[in-house]
Amino acid sequence: MVNIPSKIKIANLPTKIEKLERLSKKLGGPSIFIKRDDQTGIEFSGNKVRKLEFAVKEAMDQGCNLLITCGGIQSNHARATAAVAAKVGMASCLVLRTNKEEEIDGNYFLDKILGAKIKFITPKEYKESRMEIMEELKQELSKEGYKPYIIPEGASNGIGTFGYFNAMEEIIEQEKEMGIKFDAVVIAVGSGGTYGGLFLGNKVMNNGAKIYGVNACENEEYFKNQIDKVIKESLDYIDEVVEFTKDEINILDGYVGRGYALSRPEEIEFIHEIAKLEGIILDPVYTGKAMYGLANEIKKGSFKNHNNILFIHTGGLYGLFSKKDLFSF
């Protein structure tokens, strides 16, 4: 067994796996199962808390007392960071991307309730210099007596990767309990860390599943490079040689649609359809696009060689509220 870094325990784990009976039947392809990582907790729900358990432990070990991170205005990761910071007695500062004055709603509303300091920056600033902006904030907050720790977008870095390395161990245990083998695991990809952790765990444990990511922004080439970088960073933490190539990283490109956090009518309609079909609510930024992509790929026959697909619901419910005007009832 590989020795990985230690973590704090905050998430409600293990999260359950259930079969999507009606969706599987409707699509007429492989059996589709869903892992409910949207149920890791209320305030810090979703996939981000798994990564934060490792990142925040590292911050605590370094004697830090304030977490700085970044994301979009409806960032699940930013909200989860603010919640975990409050939970362990730290302060938080969030650098949020927006190009307009925002209504206090969804995750942004929760950020404020959780007491996070918030700095808004433009999409251009975010793309070109978010790390520099966070470093400047670190210097400013240090002068106020804080000892800040910077967590990159989505906690997608070496230490954060172990959240989903851990999750892959959990999935393998659940396979034994359920008497089933998932030959494909599908997730939304937004910053690469969740995919990286699953890929690394799958590789190290010789699990043999194929990991697919449906990108919610950027493109296939971007994420192959990003995931490669994140995995290589994580290897600095473990005494293990892991051989892999970027060609083994599977990205189902073509479902970004109008762009990050922007929804097309067919995506909203699909989210509504899944809610009525399975009683499960997907989010518009990540899981809605990813499941929409998976359903389309199954219809096209791309998964005909798979028997059991595990889709990981990475959360994001709160981001749906700011999209309520797009739904027609």
Name the residues annotated as catalytic. Answer: 75
Which one-letter amino acid corresponds to residue 219? Answer: N
Residue whose tokens read 């307009």: 100
Report residue 184 CA to chain centroid gap. Answer: 18
Residue 59: is it exposed, middle or buried by C-beta count within 10 angstroms (0-12/13-18/19+)? Answer: buried
CA distance 197 to 159: 10
- Phi/psi for 46 (5° steps) reads 105, -175
Task: Quote the CA–CA distance of 306 and 317 in Å, as a whole number.
Answer: 29
Q: Angle at Cα 95 formed by Cα 90 and Cα 100, nearest 5°? A: 140
Handedness of CA 260, 264, 267, 269 (dihedral sign): positive
